[in-house]
Amino acid sequence: MAGVTAGRFAGRTALVVGGGTDGPAAPGEALPMGNGRAIAMHLAAEGAAVAVTDVSAERAAETVAALGGIGLALEADAADPDACRAAVDRAVAGLGPLDVVVCNVGIGGGGPIGRQTVEQYDLAMDVNVRSHWVTAERALPGMVERGRGAFVFVGSVAGAWSNGFALSYETSKAAQLALARHIAVRFGSRGIRANTVVLGLIASAMSRREQGTDGDTLGWRAALPALARQGTPEEAAAAVAFLASDDAAYVTGTELVVDGGLTCRSPDSLFRGRDAVAAPQGG
């Protein structure tokens, strides 16, 4: 597994919110992979006991079965604040005090302004932002008591850049950044860190389900990043594991952009096309 550093989470406990995967597998993939699942598997590979929540008990259980370590599958709808709180309690009761909470769950929106309904907007805000606030609020007292804890939020470039298509997704991902910073500032002096991975175009099961797998879609998703390909859930997970680990002991309240150079490209680089900006051989 990419970027696995043996033992960084030995003896530690993690909660991954939204750690199932909902969508088709990639060609040749035995188990459909999404960011939450890859994060849970990565943390387990580095020694963590991992509690996985999902709105679907079956999807959470699938992830836990793939962990190859100590795990706990929990059914919890992130749209329900009581379920979020209960999931934290059940994770602590089942695996012990939490060292790491990964706020991964995030749903797409209903569309652009004018087509977005109030119900779709509220649901995205509930799942993508409120659930993370409520989960963190429940996990924090135990972390404060022990003087350590790390939150990693799974964000998106949509929190900083609009494609004009996804009002509630963009709005909620921007709000999520503020939530991470709030926790970092409020609890930093008590040994708690909070950071966000800002993901670009990741070839996850959810992206295949929502965006499709036709040649055009796969083409533009691969064409836009400077690295000329989509990222993988495992690459997203490696960045999450870094921020959750002691290797990032002095990193808090910030964002790690994991987008293969999607957002470093200026508009003229995109407009001119890859061939025009690609370095000639030797240069």
Give the residues lining the site for ligand NAD (CB under 6 A).
Answer: 18, 20-23, 34-36, 54-56, 59, 77-79, 104-107, 127, 154, 156, 199, 201-202, 204-207, 233
Q: Burial letters for 61-86: b for 16+ Cβ neighbours within 10 Å, e otherwise? A: bbbbebbebbbbbbbbbbbbbebbbe
Find the shortest distance in angstroms from Cβ 122 to ligand NAD. Answer: 12
Q: Which residue is nearest to ligand NAD (CB)?
A: 34
Radius of gyration for the chain, computed over Cα atoms and rounded to the nearest angstrom: 18
Q: Which is nearer to ligand NAD, 165 or 272 (CB)?
A: 165
What is the strand order of the sheet 100-103 is part of? 71-75, 49-54, 13-17, 100-103, 149-156, 192-199, 255-258
121 catalytic per annotation:
no
Give the active site residue among 151, 169, 187, 242. Answer: 169
The set of residues, in sequence order, having a beta carbon less than 8 Å from that of 80 and lying 6+ positions away, is none
Find the shortest distance in angstroms from Cβ 133 to ligand NAD. Answer: 14
Q: Which is nearer to ligand NAD, 190 or 232 (CB)?
A: 232
Find the shortest distance in angstroms from Cβ 259 to ligand NAD. Answer: 8
The set of residues, in sequence order, having a beta carbon less than 8 Å from that of 152 and lying 6+ positions away, is 100, 101, 102, 103, 194, 195, 196, 197, 240, 243, 244
Are 181 and 195 in contact, with CB atoms under 8 Å apart?
Answer: no
Q: Which is nearer to ligand NAD, 146 or 265 (CB)?
A: 265
Cβ neighbours of 26 (radius 10 Å): 15
Find the shortest distance in angstroms from Cβ 20 to ligand NAD. Answer: 3
DSSP 128: I
Q: Which is nearer to ligand NAD, 144 or 162 (CB)?
A: 162
Find the shortest distance in angstroms from Cβ 190 to ligand NAD. Answer: 26
Q: Which is nearer to ligand NAD, 120 or 204 (CB)?
A: 204
Catalytic residue positions, numbered: 169
